[in-house]
Amino acid sequence: MSVPTTINAVLLKNAPTGEVQFDYSAKDATFELSSKPFSESDLKDGFVLVKNLYFSNDPAQRGWIAAGQDASRGYADPVKEGDAIRSSGFGEIVASKSSKYSVGDKVLALLTWSDYQPLHEAAVFQKVDESEGVTAPVYLSALGYTAFTAYFGLKDILQLKEGQTIVVSAAAGATGSMVVQLAKHVFKAGKVIGLAGSDEKSRWIESLGADVGINYNDADYKEQLDKAIGPDCTDAYFDNVGGDMLSFLLTKVKKFGRVAACGAIAGYNDKSKLNVTTWTQIITNSLTVQGFVIFNYVQRFPEAIEVILGGISKGTIKVENTYHIEDLSKEEKPLAKVPEVWSLLFGSNKPNGKLITKIA
Amino acid sequence: MSVPTTINAVLLKNAPTGEVQFDYSAKDATFELSSKPFSESDLKDGFVLVKNLYFSNDPAQRGWIAAGQDASRGYADPVKEGDAIRSSGFGEIVASKSSKYSVGDKVLALLTWSDYQPLHEAAVFQKVDESEGVTAPVYLSALGYTAFTAYFGLKDILQLKEGQTIVVSAAAGATGSMVVQLAKHVFKAGKVIGLAGSDEKSRWIESLGADVGINYNDADYKEQLDKAIGPDCTDAYFDNVGGDMLSFLLTKVKKFGRVAACGAIAGYNDKSKLNVTTWTQIITNSLTVQGFVIFNYVQRFPEAIEVILGGISKGTIKVENTYHIEDLSKEEKPLAKVPEVWSLLFGSNKPNGKLITKIA
C-alpha cells in the first residue's frame, strides 16, 4: 500500500438538533465530504498513517454529534462542526514515524470516517494479529467494545449469578447479542429473555442462547414479557433502550434487583422518548441502577478478551453470529455512503449483531 | 390507665386516586371514623393493648393508602378500604396477655390511627425508657425511622466520605434535617447543600449545619444550586423529592457519583410530576442510583442508635430541632383531626423536622 496524496473524510457540517439529515445537498445537511492534500512529510514524529479498512458503527456516535451538548457531562468529547466524525475501527499502517508501529501493522484505534488517518502512536488502541477465526471483524464485534460492554455489564454492574433471570433489550444488537451469549453460556443464567425488533430477530437471539425472544413491535409485547418473566420478577435488566420499555421493566425487577444503564437508543432522535415514569419502583423495591461506559474498564480489557476467547474456543460463543458487514469497498466513493450504513443502526432494517462498514 | 370499652379509629373509606379528600362528609371522603365496643376479654393470648400517645406522620403513608397499587411491588402492604390507617407511633401498654410486656411499658410499634390498639407482642418494635433528653418524641424523630433512613442513606447508599459534597432535598423535613446534621457532624462532609421550601427553612437548615440552604420556591433556585455546587459537581445526592428537581440534580452529580433514591414527595398527589427526563446522565456519567427503604436495615438499627446518641451527647445533633409536635390531646375528638395534621406534610406550611401528633 502506498501513501495517498489526498485524505478524504466525512465531516460534521451541522450538529443535528432533531433527526439526522443524510442528504448532503440539503441546507441542513448533517454531514459533508472533504478532500485535503496530503504528503508523507506532513506526518509528524510519533505519528503513523493508517489506511482505514473497517469502521465500527455505534449508537454512541449519535450522542457525540448531537447539538447543544454539555461537554463537561459527556463521557467523550462532542464532535465539533467541521471535524471528521469519530469512529472506532480497524486499519493498516501505511507510513510510520513511530518507533512502536511499523508499516504493515494492523491496528485497532479510535479513527474518523476517512480513508486515511494520521494518528499519534498513543492513540492506537492495540496492534492485532488476524488468525483463523479471529479476523478484523471479530476484533470489532466479539472482541470489540460492544462485547466488552456486555461482559462488564453482566459481571460488574449486574453481578449476574448462576441460575438468575435476566432481561436484555436491543438483544439482537451488537451489545445485546453478546449479553445473550455471555449471560447464558458464561454466566450460566437460569433464564435469558431478549427483546428485539422482529420475529426473525427474536428467533435469532433464541439461536444464540436466549430462552425467550420477544418482538417488541408486537402490540402485546408487555404481556408476553410479563409472562416470560413470571411472578417472581427478574433479577437483572440490561437496558440498551430507555424510555417506555425501561419504565415498564423497572416494574418487573425483583426486590434488591439490579439494572445496568447502558444505552438509550429510544431517544437518539427525540429525547422526550426517554422520560422515565416509574422511578418510585427504584425506591419501593430497593433497586440498584448503575450507569457505565466501556472506557471505565480499559485496564481490564484483557480479562474480557480471555473470557470471550474461551467461549469462542469452546464453541459457545459463535463469532460468525456476532457481526454483519456492509461492504462499500467496491463503491466508487465508499466514504460517501458511510453515514447511510451507520443509519441502519436506528432503522427497522437493522442487521443482527455488530454492524461493520468495510471501506477498503 | 384503664381498659377502654370502645376503640375509636380512622379508617380508609375511599382509597384516593388523585388528591386526598379530608372532608369526612364528602361523598368521596378518603377517611371515616369508626367506634367499636371492646372488652378486655377480647384480648387474645400473646397480645397487648396499647394506649396510643404519639403518631409519627410519614409521606410513605400516602403510598400505603393510594388506589390501584400493585401489592406485590410495594415495600409494605397497601391499607385496604375499611381498615384503619397504619402509622408508626409510641404508646403505653394498658392491658397485657403477653409474657414479654407488662402494663405500664412504653413501646414503639407500627400502630394505626386509633386511640387504643390491640397488638401481637411480635408486632411491638421495642420497649423504651424515657429519660432526660430522650423522650417519646425523640424516639419518633432523632431516634426514629426517618433518622435511621438518613443514617443508612448516608453510610450505605451514598457511602459519603469526609470532605465530599452532598445535596439533600426536602432538607427541612424529618429525614432531610437528620441528613444535614449527620452529613456535616458525623460523616464530616465538606459541603452540605440543602433544598427547602422557604427562606426561613433554608436559614433553619443552615443552623443545623448546612453550608448552604436554598429555597426551592425561588424562581432562580436552579441557578443558586448550580452556583452552590460549583463546577466540580456533587459527589452525592440524597433525593426525597423526585421529578423535576431530581432530573436537574442528575445533571449535577459528578462522574461515578451516587444518588440515594429515598422519597418522591413531588408526586404524592400526581404521579406525572415524577417523570425523570435526564436518565441518560446516569449512563454518560456512570452514576449509581440506589433505592432503599428503612425496613432493609432493621438488624442494624442499634448501630444507627449508637451513632445518633453519640451525636446527641456531644451536642452536635440537637434533638430539640428534630421534631414538631401538634398536640391534639386537649381536643374533644383528637382522632378526628389526625388526618388534618398529617396533611401538613404535603402543604406549604409544613413544620420543620419530624411532624408528630400527640393524641393523649
pLDDT in tens, A210-233: 999 999 999 999 999 999 999 999
Return the pLDDT at B63.
Answer: 87
Select from A275, A284, A290 the Cβ nearest to the Cβ of B73: A284
B70 has a pLDDT exceeding 80:
no
Exposed, middle or buried: residue B70 (CB in 10 Å: 0-12, 13-18, 19+)?
Answer: exposed
* B51 to chain A, closest Cα gap in Å: 31
Nearest 10 degrees: Cα torsion A251, A293, A136, A107: 180
Preferred mutation among A234, A246, A280 to probe B, highest tally of B CBs within 10 A: A280
* A242 to chain B, closest Cα gap in Å: 8
**Which residues, in sequence order, are CB contacts of B204 under 8 Å at separation 6+?**
B172, B196, B213, B321, B352
List of chain B residues whose C-beta atoms are within 8 Å of the C-beta of residue A158: none
List of chain A residues whose C-beta atoms are within 8 Å of the C-beta of residue B272: 277
Return the pLDDT at B22.
Answer: 96
Return the pLDDT at A268.
Answer: 78
Select from A72, A274, A286 the Cβ nearest to the Cβ of B280: A274
List of chain B residues whose C-beta atoms are within 8 Å of the C-beta of residue A274: 277, 279-280
The reply to whether CATH 3.90.1200.10 applies to domain A6-141+322-358 is: no
List of chain B residues whose C-beta atoms are within 8 Å of the C-beta of residue A292: 283, 286
* A280 to chain B, closest Cα gap in Å: 7
Question: From CA B173, how far away is CA B222, in angstroms rounded?
Answer: 20
List of chain B residues whose C-beta atoms are within 8 Å of the C-beta of residue A265: none
Q: Are A290 and A320 in contact (CB under 8 A)?
A: no
Mean pLDDT of chain A: 94
Select from B261, B285, B287 the Cβ nearest to the Cβ of A282: B261
Closest-CA residue of A relative to B289 is A289
pLDDT tier at B356, thresholds 50, 70, 90: very high
Q: Do the chains contact at B290 and A287, CB–CB below 8 Å? A: yes
List of chain A residues whose C-beta atoms are within 8 Å of the C-beta of residue B75: 255, 284-286
Return the pLDDT at A322.
Answer: 86
Mean pLDDT of A276-302: 95
* A119 to chain B, closest Cα gap in Å: 26
pLDDT digits (tens, 9 = 90+) for B301-322: 999 999 999 999 999 998 887 8
Mean pLDDT of A17-43: 95
Q: Do the chains contact at A288 and B291, CB–CB below 8 Å? A: yes
Q: Do the chains contact at A284 and B274, CB–CB below 8 Å? A: no
Question: From CA B246, how far away is CA B261, in angstroms rounded?
Answer: 9
Q: CATH homologous superfamily of domain A145-295?
A: NAD(P)-binding Rossmann-like Domain (3.40.50.720)
Closest-CA residue of B relative to A246 is B279
Return the pLDDT at A76.
Answer: 78
B1 has a pLDDT exceeding 80:
no
List of chain A residues whose C-beta atoms are within 8 Å of the C-beta of residue B271: 277, 280
Question: From CA B20, how far away is CA B339, in angstroms rounded?
Answer: 10
pLDDT digits (tens, 9 = 90+) for B187-212: 999 999 999 999 999 999 999 999 99
Q: Do the chains contact at A72 and B231, CB–CB below 8 Å? A: yes
Mean pLDDT of A22-29: 96
Return the pLDDT at A126.
Answer: 87
Say which range, A141-150, B62-71, B95-104, has the weakest mean pLDDT: B62-71
Q: Do the chains contact at B285 and A261, CB–CB below 8 Å? A: no
pLDDT digits (tens, 9 = 90+) for B239-279: 999 999 999 999 999 999 999 999 998 887 788 899 999 99
Question: From CA A57, how far away is CA B215, in angstroms rounded?
Answer: 46
Say which range, B207-211, B234-238, B342-346, has the weakest mean pLDDT: B342-346
Return the pLDDT at A301.
Answer: 92
Chains A, B: CB contacts under 8 A, how many?
Answer: 114
pLDDT tier at A75, thresholds 50, 70, 90: confident
* B283 to chain A, closest Cα gap in Å: 4
Say which range, A23-32, A136-145, B174-183, has the weakest mean pLDDT: A136-145
Select from B75, B274, B287 the Cβ nearest to the Cβ of A284: B75
Q: Using beta carbons and an 8 Å cutoff, which residues of B are at the interface with A?
A: 63, 70, 72-75, 231, 242, 246, 251, 255, 261-264, 267, 271-272, 274-277, 279-293, 296
pLDDT digits (tens, 9 = 90+) for A109-143: 999 999 999 999 998 988 998 877 789 999 999 99
Q: What percent of chain B has pLDDT over 70?
A: 100
List of chain A residues whose C-beta atoms are within 8 Å of the C-beta of residue B282: 261, 289-291
Select from B242, B275, B296 the Cβ nearest to the Cβ of A286: B296
Q: Are A216 and A224 in contact (CB under 8 A)?
A: no
Q: Do the chains contact at B275 and A280, CB–CB below 8 Å? A: no
Q: Do the chains contact at A293 and B274, CB–CB below 8 Å? A: no
Q: Do the chains contact at A281 and B75, CB–CB below 8 Å? A: no
10 Å Cβ neighbour count for A172? 26
Mean pLDDT of B38-49: 95
Select from A261, A272, A287 the Cβ nearest to the Cβ of B282: A261
Select from A280, A289, A290 the Cβ nearest to the Cβ of B274: A280
- Cell numbers describing residue B254: 459528578
A68 has a pLDDT exceeding 90:
no
Choose between A69 and A3: higher pLDDT: A3
Helices (H), ranges, chain A:
60-65, 136-140, 145-152, 174-185, 199-208, 221-229, 243-250, 280-284, 301-314, 338-343
List of chain B residues whose C-beta atoms are within 8 Å of the C-beta of residue A229: none
Closest-CA residue of B relative to A292 is B286
Q: Do the chains contact at B283 and A276, CB–CB below 8 Å? A: no
Mean pLDDT of A264-284: 91
Preferred mutation among B279, B294, B295, B296 to probe A, highest tally of A CBs within 10 A: B279
List of chain B residues whose C-beta atoms are within 8 Å of the C-beta of residue A263: 283
pLDDT tier at A2, thresholds 50, 70, 90: confident
A1 has a pLDDT exceeding 70:
no
Select from B72, B274, B287 the Cβ nearest to the Cβ of A279: B274
Closest-CA residue of A relative to B283 is A291
Q: What is residue A276's DSSP assignment?
A: B
pLDDT tier at A348, thresholds 50, 70, 90: confident
Domain map (residue ranges) of chain A: 6-141+322-358, 145-295
